[in-house]
Amino acid sequence: MGIGWYWFGPVAYVDTSDMWLEGRWPRIAVSIAGPYANLVLGGVAALVAWFVPSSVLSAALWEFALLSYIAVVLNFNPLMEFDGYYVLSDILERPNLRPQALAWLGRNLIPALRTPSRLEGHRFELLYGLASLLYVAFSAVLTVVIYRLVVQGWMEGILPDVLAAGLAWALAAAVVVLAAVGVLGELRGSA
C-alpha cells in the first residue's frame, strides 16, 4: 500500500502485481475489490450520517460518502490505468491496452489516414487511443481550473495575490507539462 502521483494528482494504491500470475477472472475480482470497498464504505458513512444527531459529524460523513462514490466512478474509468482499465483489459484479453493503443496512434494514425485500408483491424486502437487522449486533455483543463481556483485561493491567504496567482499558474503548468510529456512518450511507444 502506498500513496503516489498519477497524471494529475495523488493516488492511494495497493500493490497487486502478484495477481498477474492468476487467471483472468481472479484478476477482474481483485480490480473490482477496490471500488467495491469504496462503495461499501460510502454506503456505511451515508447510513451513519442519516442517523447521527450532530449536524457537523453528519455533514462530514455525507462528504466522505460523496467522495467515496466519486472514487468509485473515477476508479471504473477505463481510459486511465485505474481499476476499470484493468477490468476492460482482462475482459478483452488485451494486456497493455492503453500503451499499445497510444503507440499505434503515434506511429500509424497519419499513414492510416492516407491509406484507409490500414485502419482495418485497428478501429479499437483508434477509438480507445483517441478517447484516452481526449480524456487526458479534459483532465488537463480541469486541473488548470482546479489549481487556479483552489491552490490560488489557498495561497492568497498567505502570499500576495500576484505571487499566489503566479505560483498557481506555475504549479498547474508543471503538472500539465509532465502529463503531456507522458502522453508524448506513450504516443512514441517509449513509455
137-183 pLDDT, tens digit per residue, is 998 888 888 877 888 888 888 989 889 888 888 888 888 888 888 88
| 190 band by pLDDT with thresholds 50, 70 and 90 | low
**114 and 180 inside one domain:** yes
Domain limit, last residue, from 54, 71, 95: 95
Terminal Cα-to-Cα distance of the chain (whole angstroms): 24
Position 36 pLDDT exceeds 90: yes
Instruction: Report the domain count for the chain.
Output: 2
In terms of domains, do 185 and 131 share one? yes
Quote the mean pLDDT of the chain.
88
Looking at residues 2-25, what average pLDDT do you find?
76
pLDDT in tens, 38-55: 999 999 999 999 999 999
Average the pLDDT over 2-28 and give the result: 78
Q: What percent of the chain has pLDDT over 90?
A: 48
124 and 84 in one domain?
no
Q: What is the reported pLDDT for 8?
A: 61
Provide the whole-model pTM. Answer: 0.76
DSSP code string of 121-176: T-HHHHHHHHHHHHHHHHHHHHHHHHIIIIIHHHHHTTS-HHHHHHHHHHHHHHHH
Same domain assignment for residues 182 and 112: yes
Domain boundary among 78, 95, 112: 95
H or E element that contains 12: strand 9-13
Residue 78: count other Cβ atoms within 10 Å of its Cβ.
21
pLDDT at 191: 52
Domain that holds residue 146: 97-191
Same domain, 124 and 188: yes
Is 2 found in the same domain as 90?
yes
Looking at the fold, whether 84 and 165 belong to one and the same domain comes out as no
Of the residues 95, 122, 157, the one at which a domain ends: 95
Cell numbers at residue 7, please?
A: 497524471
The answer, yes or no, to whether residue 5 has pLDDT greater than 60, is yes
* Domain match, 90 and 131 both: no
Q: Are residues 83 and 121 in the same domain?
A: no
